[in-house]
A = this chain, B = another copy of it.
Amino acid sequence: VGRAVGRPRTPQLNSERIGAAALELVDADGNFTMPGLAQRLGVQVSSIYHHAPGRAAVVELVRDRVTSDIDGSWFDTLPWDQAIDAWARNYLSAFRKHPAAIRLLATETISAPHSIAVFTAAASSLYRAGFPDNEILAVITAVESFILGAALDAVAPATMITVSEAEGTETLRLALAAAPSGPARAQQAFDVGLAALVEGLRTLLLDHTESSGP
């Protein structure tokens, strides 16, 4: 037959296909390599470099795919505290659809340019609610930090804290026994943390608006 060589009549590769294939590999193996990616695309490794300037760029394509599910429309329709709750749950669930991807993506900045839309909506919402200008970004960042930490916690291998016979671990053993196990463990931690965080923000806001008057 003879292998086609040289520029093909119609391009066979693009960022979309590359990102999709890479995410599939991550979902399946927890990681991806350039050779593995090329194989799955039925292409030579060097071909990929015509569409993405390196492995790091492919990782960003994966990030775009994973985070594309997140939207911040709640901030336009719900009260700020409910919006944060909805956003956080949506955020976490986007990552939970691709558990293995979290470790790949967590080490770089979360704030992909596409999430500026969310930032915009969130900032407006918090501003309307009465948060001081110079704290708005901090509030958003704090919530995002918690979500990312919770996402990493959710994919952590079953902790299996085996407590030895040491003294003073009575209460810890009790707490371990009473705590849910499996996926429910991380979920409960997320629920409790998010509830506390939002509730605390409510109090902080109240302090601000009270002291500054109507």
> Which A residues contact B (CB, under 8 angstroms)?
103, 106-111, 116, 119-121, 123-124, 126-127, 132-139, 141-150, 152-153, 156-157, 159, 161, 163, 166, 168-169, 171-172, 174-176, 178-180, 185-186, 188-193, 195-201, 203-204
Contacts and interface: CB of A to CB of B under 8 A. Distances in A.
Copies in the complex: 2
Nearest to A102: B107
A17 to B, nearest CB: 27
Contacts of A120: 163, 166, 168-169, 171-172
Contacts of A127: 171, 174-175
- The main secondary structure of chain A at its interface with chain B is helix
A145 B196 CA distance: 13
A150 B200 CA distance: 17
30 contacts: A103-B107, A106-B106, A109-B159, A110-B153, A116-B172, A119-B172, A120-B163, A120-B166, A123-B171, A123-B175, A126-B175, A127-B174, A133-B174, A134-B180, A136-B179, A137-B175, A138-B192, A141-B186, A141-B189, A142-B150, A142-B192, A145-B149, A146-B197, A149-B150, A195-B204, A196-B201, A196-B204, A197-B200, A198-B200, A199-B199
Given A121-B168, A141-B189, 10 more contacts: A109-B157, A137-B179, A138-B179, A138-B191, A138-B192, A144-B149, A144-B153, A145-B146, A149-B149, A200-B201
